[in-house]
Structure 1
């Protein structure tokens, strides 16, 4: 039994054994000295012991280890070879294909013989579709799910359908759906963004109305507290009315008993994250012609502005009376900054407005101030020793100034220069970050890889583009590592990125074309990609500071 889920196993050895029980253990002795290698074939089931034996007979009994090895190699070759690359160094290729491999860790299909056990209602269900579990949405909504919409949209549809089934079986859309049920982990209802992203890319092979019903329920009835499941509390009612999540002053005693003792309120992170979630729900409502919901949630998507402190140009916490809580956004907030932020500090959360970058630029007072603050991010000092910093912020890793490559909230930040007057700085930063933090050795991942969440960033960035705002079917251009990369699309077409003269030195875009037409902005759409488009870049050793500015 694992977290309330019964796991059944049936197996056979290739030689007889005598068994002796030793407490809770079973000791096996193999007496045939002629057998040099003991082989154990087995199969698992979450349904029943009888199903475990049936799985064994159907899948394992009449095959050898060598045959299974070849089957596995063929399966991996199919997905890895979906993306072909030419050029780049051997180290870059090793890092890229290792990253691509890791993106297939999650989600996991647990159907067996046309049925599955659900940890969401503790029942066995018949099905003719895969049922997927094990998704860490706080990590995977950024790049992992968007990557799958390109490589395997059919599988992404099955995963979204699984989310709908989980909602129907449990009453809530899960946040971190695992085998045994939802794991209340991190914060936000970011599956809403994943649903919108898939919907706008044509992935709609699930009960769309049920999905919207579940997302709406989460946004209006569920607690927003980190690492908690269940109905809303007085803190959510405050958020709905005032437009921000209230924080406590340093040392102030917690008044809400539902708040997690270690994870705290994360008041700024909650406000920013749910602003994006509400934007996605508003956009989904617009797609379904639910005008009242669209208006309601678009208004809530601007809540991030309520925590903008213009004097410091940071997102800072407020108490329930609406007063600013003066903190050092670099270091205050307890372990991992969790009183106000989450695992990262205020410099990271300064940029967590992917759904409204233009609005963020407006808060800065214009593009020039926005770009200047981005520049400062990469050179701002820690203000203390790394020993002191990491004792309090152990997840703040892969550091360049105050930028942390080792945690998901930072992934989109280097691409924000494409919203400024200096897209060439995105090209510079992406190449530096890939080369510094994703090498082909034991130091090749700068933080928690999160089951494909981080390496999906590597796959996108190595190919030369990235989805800054999942939910908007648009990609922004960085700096590809390879002279040529081609993606075999499930619709039979092929998307290509050609980077002429690309090298370790030639990392800057001089000019660009898409399908033979001049491209003078650093953007292209998902529709252009899946139509089998070709992005062609001319690369050079020095930046063309005028390209992409229009």
Structure 2
């Protein structure tokens, strides 16, 4: 590849710097650039329905409730819709939710959905794909078998349905309280308990249930009100007619009949609560006292417009804008608000608590994924929400019998994935000066896990400095991620004045050395007796896949780059920075198909780099530490181009509550946090030509890359507030003071930029 001289770089920079930015083109609403169908095909596991930013209600169609690609309840390939439920997961790899299903229909009442392969066998309906539309806060579809037009919108805690039946005909609405997500791998069946359903007059239904699925024992209550009374309500228990106006049991349903259904649209509003029926009623009455669908739709649109406008961008094409603003939209779907309007919420101890003034409760933290980019992005764009989000994690840790939150969902701990990465979120917030969080209480929760608890091999880790691969599954990855959690906890310990613990944990965070084999240049399994597991193949998931896997959703190639916090000392294990750089090169150039058993989660391969799963997300940025940030620039631009598309299957791997999207957002803006608690961002190759980020207090961070194009992917130089900036990284505190960050872009690498040791990112300090 041809190089350009420093003189050429400076000449190019001078020419670029005089090009003024002339303002955002008039292009209508930012919501117009959002396509909620991106990620609803492939393995994105996203839903297209109506919700508010961080909304407690996610009102969306369910096309299937069983199968890995139905974790959100919806997939483009299914072809029929069961109905519309009020809670959905955003891009997870595990199923749950799909609470309180409503099914509008004409003709005979059918009590079961029927199989996906035979829509005529049950209440599911085919739909007109050309009629299906979605926008932030709104969804619409024509159900062809049912001959009903369904429209959905929402407030934070209430879903609002508008059903238009065939003119002059009658119809009914089925409420299926037994519907929910069914495990696709067989270990977690859908078990329902404490179901209740009660008619109040002829226009209101209330009820609730306890669900034992992924989040075992979570509670959901609802209150449903109709815009006009039903003529008749038929109740069913175990699919048999039941008398009376109130039911309890395991399988409850209600069919509400409207002989005048076709005379005017039927509107139904449903409030939910994790606390009780009274909470659901209060949420319903406080947020939606009427049935004004267009007002609610307009309010939802306005709320999304406000959130999206925190980051305004100009990009090279409408497709790029669509990907960017949809990524921003998806990043704001979780965590979800988890408190009633009266401040009550259900804690991780299954008790009902009341928030103090100024506090907030949230749910749905995919922390193994989101600590990497979602939470760093929020520290830039969601400053006012941070105390609530982070304070909620502290209270979870104090209230939960399981201790430190790992993957909390709806007031229960799923204990999914490894490590304990709320340590990163808490330590990052403290280091970045987020106020209103009890960091001493947060540290106490983390310290118990770090020094006392013996779960998932942690006792062995403390005693031996690694987890033996012949004792605990995924031992290599667990060792590496405990080491990172140690690093994060050490930073928080220092922040709250626990100096001795901070020193101990910092030293322990170098335990990654105990699973690194210098003779092969990879991390690998080590047995209880201290011997390496043999034979070894870095393409393999582990040494005995019938019983153990040594890695978590990675293989030896990918896991070898899990170190985020101690790059320079780690590089010495490879033989120095040049050897480390060569190893990163080899990761991207190694053959992808190694004829080894793999996982559905290991996708988006470039060599052995796997963008479809989160452990690889920081790797392209590691070149900055070796003095070759131009290689980062090349790789991240390639990944933004190839791994994200404006199409239903336009996402590699599961979205995982915003992490796939947040990687794109941060990278498109031009920087990424390799180690979030360092509070530093590594420069990449910005995809935006111009961006304005509202960072609070009336301040803006402006990013300019005026010469950016598909060909000009390399950073020739950087200016911060008009002055030359030679470092390949920048501190969070600098960005949050506001200012203008200018990238001068060109078609060839500038090997001098960021090459000096003094210009490389700090690590392990």
TM-score scaled by length of structure 1: 0.92
Aligned residues of 2:701 and 2:738 also touching (Cα < 8 A): yes
Bigger shift: 215-224 or 473-482? 215-224
Bigger shift: 371-380 or 42-51? 42-51
**Aligned partner (choices 701, 714, 729) of residue 495 of structure 1:** 701
Structure 1 residue matching 2:429: 3-state secondary structure? helix
Structure 1 residue matching 2:702: 3-state secondary structure? strand
Aligned residues of 2:269 and 2:291 also touching (Cα < 8 A): no
Give the equivalent residue in structure 2 for 1:5: 218
1:439 Cα deviation from its structure 2 partner: 1.4
Counterparts in 2 of 1:383 and 1:446: CA distance versus 1, 3 Å: closer
Asked if residue 16 in structure 1 is aligned to residue 229 in structure 2, the reply is yes
Bigger shift: 152-161 or 332-341? 332-341
Give the equivalent residue in structure 2 for 1:144: 374
1:63 Cα deviation from its structure 2 partner: 4.4
1:384 Cα deviation from its structure 2 partner: 3.1
Give the equivalent residue in structure 2 for 1:85: 313
1:126 Cα deviation from its structure 2 partner: 1.6
Asked if residue 73 in structure 1 is aligned to residue 279 in structure 2, the reply is no
Aligned residues of 2:345 and 2:361 also touching (Cα < 8 A): no
Counterparts in 2 of 1:37 and 1:167: CA distance versus 1, 3 Å: same
1:520 Cα deviation from its structure 2 partner: 1.2
Give the equivalent residue in structure 1 for 2:161: none
Structure 1 residue matching 2:589: 3-state secondary structure? coil
Asked if residue 511 in structure 1 is aligned to residue 712 in structure 2, the reply is no
**Aligned partner (choices 254, 272, 278) of residue 480 of structure 2:** 272
1:337 Cα deviation from its structure 2 partner: 10
Give the equivalent residue in structure 1 for 2:557: 347
Bigger shift: 463-472 or 162-171? 162-171
Counterparts in 2 of 1:283 and 1:50: CA distance versus 1, 3 Å: closer
Q: Of the two, which has the highest radius of gyration?
A: 2
Give the equivalent residue in structure 1 for 2:271: 43
1:509 Cα deviation from its structure 2 partner: 0.8
Aligned residues of 1:103 and 1:144 also touching (Cα < 8 A): yes
Give the equivalent residue in structure 1 for 2:386: 156
1:191 and 1:301 map into 2 onto residues whose CA distance is 16
Bigger shift: 142-151 or 203-212? 203-212
Give the equivalent residue in structure 1 for 2:427: 196
1:396 Cα deviation from its structure 2 partner: 1.1
Structure 2 residue matching 1:6: 3-state secondary structure? strand
Asked if residue 57 in structure 1 is aligned to residue 57 in structure 2, the reply is no
Asked if residue 166 in structure 1 is aligned to residue 407 in structure 2, the reply is no
Query: After superposition, what is the alpha-carbon deviation per residue over 1:305-324, rounded to whole angstroms, capped at 9, x for unaligned?
Result: 11111111001111111111
Asked if residue 541 in structure 1 is aligned to residue 747 in structure 2, the reply is yes
Structure 1 residue matching 2:218: 3-state secondary structure? coil
Counterparts in 2 of 1:130 and 1:336: CA distance versus 1, 3 Å: farther
1:247 and 1:408 map into 2 onto residues whose CA distance is 22
Aligned residues of 1:336 and 1:343 also touching (Cα < 8 A): no
Q: Which has a greater percent of helix?
A: 1
Query: After superposition, what is the alpha-carbon deviation per residue over 1:239-275, rounded to whole angstroms, capped at 9, x for unaligned?
Result: 2122011111xxxxx6xxxxxxxxx621110111011
Structure 1 residue matching 2:313: 3-state secondary structure? strand
Query: After superposition, what is the alpha-carbon deviation per residue over 1:13-70, rounded to whole angstroms, capped at 9, x for unaligned?
Result: 2222111223332222112366232221221222222232222222212241111000
Kindly report the root-mean-square deviation, in angstroms, between the aligned alpha carbons of the 2 structures.
1.7
5+ residue gaps in structure 1?
226-234, 249-253, 255-263
Aligned residues of 2:473 and 2:548 also touching (Cα < 8 A): yes
Give the equivalent residue in structure 1 for 2:249: none
**Aligned partner (choices 437, 446, 452) of residue 215 of structure 1:** 446
Bigger shift: 40-49 or 103-112? 40-49
**Aligned partner (choices 630, 642, 646) of residue 440 of structure 1:** 646
1:108 and 1:58 map into 2 onto residues whose CA distance is 19
Query: After superposition, what is the alpha-carbon deviation per residue over 1:437-462, rounded to whole angstroms, capped at 9, x for unaligned?
Result: 11111232100110101111010001
1:178 Cα deviation from its structure 2 partner: 0.9
Aligned residues of 2:568 and 2:577 also touching (Cα < 8 A): no
The aligned runs of 1:386-465 (5 Å cut-off) are 389=596, 392-465=598-671
Asked if residue 297 in structure 1 is aligned to residue 519 in structure 2, the reply is no
1:153 Cα deviation from its structure 2 partner: 2.0
Give the equivalent residue in structure 2 for 1:246: 468
Asked if residue 180 in structure 1 is aligned to residue 411 in structure 2, the reply is yes
1:497 Cα deviation from its structure 2 partner: 1.2
1:14 and 1:336 map into 2 onto residues whose CA distance is 57
1:344 and 1:284 map into 2 onto residues whose CA distance is 28
Query: After superposition, what is the alpha-carbon deviation per residue over 1:176-220, rounded to whole angstroms, capped at 9, x for unaligned?
Result: 111131111010011111111010111131222111100000112
Structure 1 residue matching 2:266: 3-state secondary structure? coil
2:259 and 2:291 map into 1 onto residues whose CA distance is 25
Bigger shift: 334-343 or 499-508? 334-343
Q: Which has a greater percent of strand?
A: 2
The aligned runs of 1:116-155 (5 Å cut-off) are 116-127=344-355, 128=357, 129-155=359-385
Query: After superposition, what is the alpha-carbon deviation per residue over 1:262-293, rounded to whole angstroms, capped at 9, x for unaligned?
Result: xx621110111011110111122222232210
**Aligned partner (choices 530, 535, 539) of residue 330 of structure 1:** 539
Structure 1 residue matching 2:705: 3-state secondary structure? strand
2:650 and 2:702 map into 1 onto residues whose CA distance is 27
1:240 and 1:505 map into 2 onto residues whose CA distance is 50
1:140 Cα deviation from its structure 2 partner: 0.7
Aligned residues of 1:246 and 1:319 also touching (Cα < 8 A): yes
